[in-house]
Chains A and B, each alone.
Chain A
């Protein structure tokens, strides 16, 4: 009883190796049709802001997996900025934190924010990814 496939997923992470691995999983398991990747919060925020200006709906991702520890703009700042603009999209965007931080401060902070659906601790396993992508669809 598989749902409709996710059209566009977004990964924000500065770890090249991790991105390659996730990309590989998504491709082999066919979890979504397209994937966009950003190396830090600033890059992705720029992307979302440009989408709003051009109202390019089909380029809005259904799901975002974001890391916390990134250069220039970290995950927290992105989430803060993104929360301000997310309601201007005509689409529900599900946001997951995927971080190697097991710091309880980070986990509690994530739980307190409505924007965040869940906090996943690296290493993420294939099953977990399948579940997330399934629910989000």
Chain B
């Protein structure tokens, strides 16, 4: 349809053109122009010097011009403008991309006769092409400036992965936040070096989903700089489609959020500490009320009995029992005191402690108990030998766990206690394993570390050791867990 119309108009055009013999011509200086004659378009020298020599003469067809020289994004608008110009003499001004030498598109402003005062009376229609070099540059510069400012101030770099060319592109800001030199060429093959191991798996998953299902992503992820520094990044990415709706790449940004993330994590940690302290305080309040109450209620019962008894002898006997009550009240208060001391410690008293040194102290202090029970203690601190901790606590923890193992040894075998240290998720772990009678964790798991909880018919089971141990560990943000099989073993795992 368009083609037919265009031919008809050109015929009409050629008719008018024949009558005009000597049309005034524009000056062919740094601006190029097209002279529209008959079916053809004649290019000026300046125009040809931009786009390169196209044909033997200066003649090209409209179709050739639109299909081969005008960028496809501009061609429709140009075609409309062109016909309005030819048919109705409507002037236009259009900025458009034209294919120039070396296959590069350059931006031109296309104008008509009406934009040139001395050609107002010309019968031949011309199209003028003015390079936008100066203006565009200024605009691009301005854009580039804003873009750069925004990128730098928000520490946001952008990137593109081109699936067709199998290439990755980073802008300068991406290189900067990842500490790579300005001429560094990224590649998907090297992607594993941009992320810590765990995060690389996440990144791979996100990229895979984006490239196969077209799922955009927006996530917080840890990345590695060239200098192997881990830092937090917000990574956003979205698929890039071609005309056939096929995904041909992924475009996105990396934003350095390390400082904010550090604050957030810090806040989270503080809030965790507060929550756990709060929990311990509640627990403590409950213990205090419960454990003290049992003594005071005994006291009031004694008083009531004394009042109810008439015999003097019995009264004296009852007064005697007050002694027992006060002495157990005293024990309880001492235990509670121990717990209170744990709650009030500060980080200041932490210092590097060697596991082996700590264990040596414990072995010396309970040497007799160890010898009497014929216990063997095997230790291996080769993986982690030192820890920053409160020395007295580490000793107390080791002491409690070792005496626990000896207390609950298996009647048919001598106790063997294995103590090892190692790293797990960047945290120091201490494990104490025995070959004792074990404990039914399904039954007692939630009470194992409770105060005055004992689970065995053992004379010296007081039920305070593990409670104190747990409190000491948690007061320093650690964790203690138990694993056991009845009649076989018990393992206490402490994550510092």
Task: Give residues in A with beta carbon < 8 Å to B.
Answer: 15, 17-18, 20-22, 24-25, 28, 69, 71-72, 74, 100-103, 122-126
How long is the Cα–Cα vector from A74 to B293 in the complex, in angstroms?
18
Residue of B nearest to A127 (CB): B304
| Structural contact, A72 and B454, CB atoms closer than 8 A | yes
A124 and B290 contact, Cβ closer than 8 Å, known pairs A21-B321, A28-B308, A71-B463:
no
Report how far A5 CA is from B214 CA in the complex, Å. 84
Given contacts A71-B461, A74-B447, A123-B296, 16 further A-B contacts (CB under 8 A): A15-B294, A17-B298, A17-B324, A18-B301, A21-B301, A21-B302, A24-B318, A25-B305, A25-B308, A69-B290, A69-B452, A100-B297, A101-B290, A103-B290, A122-B298, A126-B308
- Judged by a CB distance under 8 angstroms, whether B241 is at the interface is no
Which residues of chain B have C-beta atoms less than 8 A from A103's C-beta?
286, 290
Report which of B289, B290, B321 forms a contact with A17, defined as CB distance below 8 A: B321
Assembly CA distance A25 to B309 (angstroms): 10
Tell me the smallest distance from the CB of B231 to a CB of chain A, in Å: 46
Residues of A within 8 A of B325 (CB): 17
From B290, B298, B324, B328, give the contact of A123 (CB < 8 A).
B298
* Distance between A129 CB and nearest chain B CB, rounded to angstroms: 10
**A103 CA to B282 CA in the complex, in Å?**
12
Question: Shortest 10 CB-CB distances between A and B: which pairs?
Answer: A123-B297, A122-B297, A71-B454, A100-B293, A100-B294, A123-B300, A21-B301, A123-B301, A17-B298, A100-B297
- The B interface is mostly helix, strand or loop, or mixed, namely helix
Q: Counting CB contacts under 8 A, is B455 at the interface? A: yes
Residues of B within 8 Å of A20, CB to CB, are: 321
Most buried by A among B294, B299, B321, B454: B294
- Which chain B positions have C-beta within 8 A of A25? 305, 308
Taking A28-B309, A122-B293 as contacts, is the C-beta distance between A21 and B452 under 8 angstroms?
no
Cross-chain pairs A/B with CB under 8 angstroms, 25 sampled: A17-B298, A17-B325, A17-B328, A18-B297, A20-B321, A21-B305, A24-B318, A25-B305, A28-B308, A69-B290, A69-B452, A71-B452, A71-B455, A71-B463, A74-B447, A100-B290, A100-B293, A100-B297, A101-B290, A102-B293, A123-B297, A123-B298, A124-B301, A125-B304, A126-B305
The CA of A122 and the CA of B461, in the complex, are separated in Å by 24
Alpha-carbon gap, A74 to B463, bound state (A): 14
CB < 8 Å neighbour of A102 from B289, B299, B452? B289
Once bound together, how far apart are the Cα atoms of A69 and B289, in whole Å?
Answer: 13
B457: A residues at CB distance < 8 A: 72
**CA–CA, A46 and B187, complex, Å:** 73
- Is B453 engaged at the interface, CB distance under 8 Å to the other chain? yes
What is the distance, in angstroms, from B446's C-beta to the closest C-beta of chain A? 11
B205 within 8 A of A: no
| Residue of A whose beta carbon sits closest to that of B286 | A103
A123 contacts across to B, CB distance below 8 A: 296-301, 304
Option from B294, B304, B452, B454 in Cβ contact (under 8 Å) with A122: B294
Q: Determine if B456 is an interface residue (Cβ-Cβ < 8 Å).
A: yes
Separation of A69 and B447 alpha carbons in the complex (Å): 11
Interface of A is mostly: loop
Q: Which residue on B lies nearest to A16, using beta carbons?
A: B324
Residues of A within 8 A of B308 (CB): 25, 28, 126
Complex interface bits, B270-290 against A, C-beta within 8 A gives 1, otherwise 0 = 000000000000000010011
Q: How far is the CA of A102 from the CA of B262 in the complex (A)?
A: 43
Query: Is the Cβ of A72 less than 8 Å from the Cβ of B298?
Result: no
Give the residues in chain B near A126, CB-CB below 8 Å. Answer: 304-305, 308
CA distance A74 to B298 in the complex (A): 20
Question: Is B293 touching A71 in the complex (CB atoms < 8 A)?
Answer: no
Q: Report Cα–Cα, A124/B305, bound state, in Å.
A: 11
Which of A18, A22, A24, A102 has the most CB atoms of chain B within a 10 A radius of its CB? A24
Residues of A within 8 A of B461 (CB): 71
Chain A residues with CB under 8 Å of B454's CB are 71-72
Q: How far is the CB of B100 from chain A (nearest CB, A)?
A: 83
Residues of chain B with a CB closer than 8 A to A101's CB: 290, 293
Q: Which residues of A contact B294 (CB under 8 A)?
A: 15, 18, 100, 122
* Cα of A25 to Cα of B301 in the assembled complex, Å: 10
Residues of A within 8 A of B296 (CB): 123
Residues of A within 8 A of B456 (CB): 72
Compute how far the CA of A100 lies from the CA of B453 in the bound complex, rounded to whole angstroms: 16
Q: With a CB–CB cut-off of 8 A, which chain B residues contact A17?
A: 298, 321, 324-325, 328
Cβ 8 A contact of B455, one of A15, A24, A72:
A72
CB distance from A17 to the nearest CB of B (A): 5
Within the assembled complex, what's the spacing in Å between the Cα atoms of A71 and B304? 28
Bits for B455-483, please: 1 = Cβ < 8 Å to A, else 0: 11100010100000000000000000000
A69 to B456 alpha-carbon distance, docked (Å): 15
Tell me the smallest distance from the CB of B82 to a CB of chain A, in Å: 86
Shortest C-beta distance, A136 to chain B (Å), equals: 20
Q: A102 CA to B321 CA in the complex, in Å?
A: 25
Across the interface, which residues of A come within 8 angstroms of B293, CB to CB?
Answer: 100-102, 122
B296 to chain A, nearest CB (A): 7
Compute how far the CA of A72 lies from the CA of B439 in the bound complex, rounded to whole angstroms: 11
Which residues of A sit under 8 angstroms from B289, Cβ to Cβ? 102
* Chain B residues with CB under 8 A of A69: 290, 452
How far apart are B448's CB and chain A's nearest CB, in angstroms?
12
Query: Nearest Cβ in chain B — how far from A123, in angstroms?
Result: 3
Beta-carbon nearest neighbor of A20 in chain B: B321
What residue in chain A is nearest B309 (Cβ atoms)? A28
| Residues of chain B within 8 A of A28, CB atoms compared | 308-309
The docked-state distance in angstroms from the alpha carbon of A21 to that of B317 is 11
